[in-house]
Amino acid sequence: QAAADPMSSSEAPEDGPKETSSVSQNISDADAFKILLEMKMKKRQKKPTLPSTVTELDTEDGSKVYVVGTAHFSDSSKKDVVKTIQEVQPDVVVVELCQYRVSMLKMDEKTLLKEAKEINLEKLQQAIKQNGVMSGLMQMLLLKVSAHITEQLGMAPGGEFREAFKEASKVPFCKFHLGDRPIPVTFKRAIAALSFWQKVKLAWGLCFLSDPISKDDVEKCKQKDLLEQMMAEMIGEFPDLHRTIVSERDIYLTYMLKQAAKQIELPRASETEPRKYIPAVVVGVVGMGHVPGIEKNWNSDLNIQEIMSVPPPSASSKIFKFVIKATVFGLMGYGCYRIGQRTVQFILSMPAAQSYLQKLTEIKSQH
């Protein structure tokens, strides 16, 4: 507006004819776009000074993608995201979220902290209704892990995504994309990939997670050597789980980043004007664990159809589902039995009940 309308109506000479329309009303959409684009380009650094956690990738048509590797419970990761977006003034920001987790972008830190700590029966029922029994239980167990970290650090997850959302809104013509595979697909494929005993072992480990975690431990996750060591340990124990939760999502995130990096078409003043395109600048905000996989898949032809399908439940899944249901109903039945037993004992211990029973015994002995 400042570029298009340098003089307001109050500053116009009194003796001259008053203009009924300002310059900004006469400017075309294409010209307005060009003016704002030029302002954006001037602000964009040709040689940006970027944090060490940023990986730069190029496309065949000249577009640039800056992937910010983050730790999901890290203050410094939030600063890295803000600095990168301010330096490169992107056309698109892509974050490691799907539509099922997009609500965390608009929730404040206090509310998210409260939500993460409160895992109740209602949330369990909702997860099971949305994803099925097995996937719902797995989701709740992983939420328990997240809640454990949240409680240890006093910090809600996803701060880097909220910062990316805020900063993207400050950049002219910047689009905001969700780049992660839908979480129900990931959980269902993860469950289908595990054997019966692997599911039991994983659930047991997640249920009894209680090791203390410090902020220093989280910041160490930004070091590739430590991360690769952690991944190696995970692969050794649950290789199929690693494939579905990490490797397949590496492919999906890479595909979405490449889609976001397609050249941008400039607006035309008329239909007869030839189409013009410019390379795009993209910032991707993902967990550090996905950065090596994105680099590995960057120059490959990717097809995400296969990793979006949900395989039918295996025999072990059906058995595990039956065992879970039987356990739940068994515990409920035992609970009702114990409550009933204690209720009867309590009633019989009351003086009025004992007096009544004594009278019944006397009447019975007389007959």
Percent of all residues in the chain with a pLDDT value above 90, rounded to a whole number = 31
Q: Which amino acid type is present at position 156?
A: A
Average pLDDT over residues 156-172: 91
The residue with greater pLDDT, 258 or 206, is 258
Residue 121 pLDDT exceeds 80: no
Question: Which pLDDT does position 322 carry in this prediction?
Answer: 63
CB 123 within 8 A of CB 146: no
**What confidence tier does 157 reach under pLDDT thresholds 50, 70, 90?**
confident
> How confident is the model over 230-269, as pLDDT tens digits?
555 555 577 777 888 889 999 999 999 999 999 998 877 7
CA–CA distance, 96 with 91 (Å, rounded to integer) = 17
Question: Which pLDDT does position 229 carry in this prediction?
Answer: 54
The residue with greater pLDDT, 180 or 152, is 180
**What confidence tier does 97 reach under pLDDT thresholds 50, 70, 90?**
very high
Q: What is the DSSP letter of 313?
A: P
Question: Which pLDDT does position 95 carry in this prediction?
Answer: 97
The residue with greater pLDDT, 312 or 353, is 312
Residue 335 pLDDT exceeds 80: no
Question: Which pLDDT does position 119 carry in this prediction?
Answer: 62
CA–CA distance, 295 with 228 (Å, rounded to integer) = 14
Nearest of 246, 68, 260, 252 to residue 164 by alpha carbon:
68
DSSP per-residue string spanning 165-214: HHHHTTSTT-EEEE-SPPHHHHHHHHHHHS-HHHHHHHHHHHHT------
Average confidence score pLDDT of the chain: 76
CA–CA distance, 186 with 182 (Å, rounded to integer) = 7
Across 1-15, 283-297, 325-339, 341-355, least confident range: 1-15
Average pLDDT over residues 93-116: 81
CB 175 within 8 A of CB 261: no
Find the helix or strand (DSSP H, E) in which 64 lies: strand 64-70
Average pLDDT over residues 310-325: 62
- CA 288, 94, 255, 100 dihedral sign is positive
DSSP per-residue string spanning 2-21: TTT--S-GGGS-SSSPPPSS
CA–CA distance, 228 with 286 (Å, rounded to integer) = 16
- Alpha helical stretches, state H, the chain: 23-26, 29-43, 75-88, 109-117, 121-131, 133-153, 159-168, 183-193, 196-207, 215-220, 224-237, 239-242, 248-260, 291-297, 305-308, 315-349, 351-366
CA–CA distance, 310 with 91 (Å, rounded to integer) = 33
Q: Is 309 strand, coil or helix?
A: coil
Percent of all residues in the chain with a pLDDT value above 70, rounded to a whole number = 56
Q: Is 314 strand, coil or helix?
A: coil
The residue with greater pLDDT, 61 or 17, is 61
Q: Is 269 strand, coil or helix?
A: coil
Q: Is 302 strand, coil or helix?
A: coil
Residue 176 pLDDT exceeds 90: yes
- Token couple for 98: 């799907």
CA–CA distance, 357 with 234 (Å, rounded to integer) = 64
Question: Which pLDDT does position 238 carry in this prediction?
Answer: 74
Q: Beta strand pairing status for 64-70 and 92-95?
A: unpaired
Residues in the chain: 367
CB 304 within 8 A of CB 249: no
Question: Which pLDDT does position 188 carry in this prediction?
Answer: 83
List the end-to-end C-alpha distance of the chain, in Å, as a whole number. 105
